[in-house]
Structure 1
Amino acid sequence: MPDPSWMAQQQAQQAAQQAQQIHQNNVRHHRHMHDMARIHGGTPQMHRPVPYSGSRGGSLRGFLTLLVIVAVVVYVAHDPELRTTVTTFARDLLARVQSN
């Protein structure tokens, strides 16, 4: 059976790659819309950003989602010391986010 921490690291890397791909697609789409607006009549129209939802979160939201995924995978792991360390880190991070 593979090492649980290795599996968690692999899953975290996959999630980070997916988040980066989504971000790049969003940037590409945004630039395309501005280019089209310039071609078809001058200045781009003002628009409100689409609210993020699901896997298309902002940087903090994406990071917290990634952290939760990693924490769940590690929590399922059978190493109690690793579980305790990750749980403590997650609680501290959540407290900081809530206080800001």
Structure 2
Amino acid sequence: MPDPSWMAQQQAQQAAQQAQQIHQNHVRSHREMHDMARAHARHSGSPHLHRPVPYGGGRSGGLRGFLILLVIVGVVVYVARDPELRTTVQEFARTLLARAQSG
């Protein structure tokens, strides 16, 4: 039977990878919509009024904050020797990931 702390670390890594994939899909769809809007504006002769926000200048925190939180949760689970505490932290991480995926 694998070490529970190792399993928790693997789960945290999987959650981080899923979060990164969700972010990449969001960025890709945003770029596609932006490109379509620019093509439409060129075709219709409309001026381009949108000024893109510099990378990292949007919402504060974002994916970077979420990934840091996941790493912290992974470390806490890895260090925790109490099985009840470990279970509580794992449930928290799962709930957080579910909220991130739905919203």
Unaligned runs of 5+ in 1: 81-100
Residues 1:79 and 2:86 aligned together: no
Q: Alignment partner of 2:75: what SS?
A: helix
Percentage identity across paired residues of the two chains: 30
CA distance in 1, matches of 2:63, 2:78: 26
1:28 is aligned to 32
Q: Alignment partner of 1:48: what SS?
A: coil
Instruction: For 1:9, give the aligned amino acid.
Output: Q
1:69 is aligned to 70
**Alignment RMSD:** 2.8
Q: Alignment partner of 2:51: what SS?
A: coil
Unaligned runs of 5+ in 2: 81-103
CA distance in 2, matches of 1:78, 1:64: 20
CA distance in 1, matches of 2:29, 2:71: 24
Q: How does 1:1-100 map to 2 (within 5 A)?
A: 3-41=7-45, 44-49=47-52, 52-53=58-59, 61-75=62-76, 77-80=77-80
Shift, 1:6, TM fit: 0.5
Under a length normalisation based on structure 2, what TM-score does the superposition of the two structures give? 0.56
CA distance in 2, matches of 1:45, 1:78: 51
Aligned residues: 73
Which has the bigger relative contact order, CA under 8 A and spacing at least 6?
A: 2
CA distance in 2, matches of 1:64, 1:71: 11
Q: Deviations over 1:63-95 (max 9, x none)?
A: 2322222322432x1425xxxxxxxxxxxxxxx
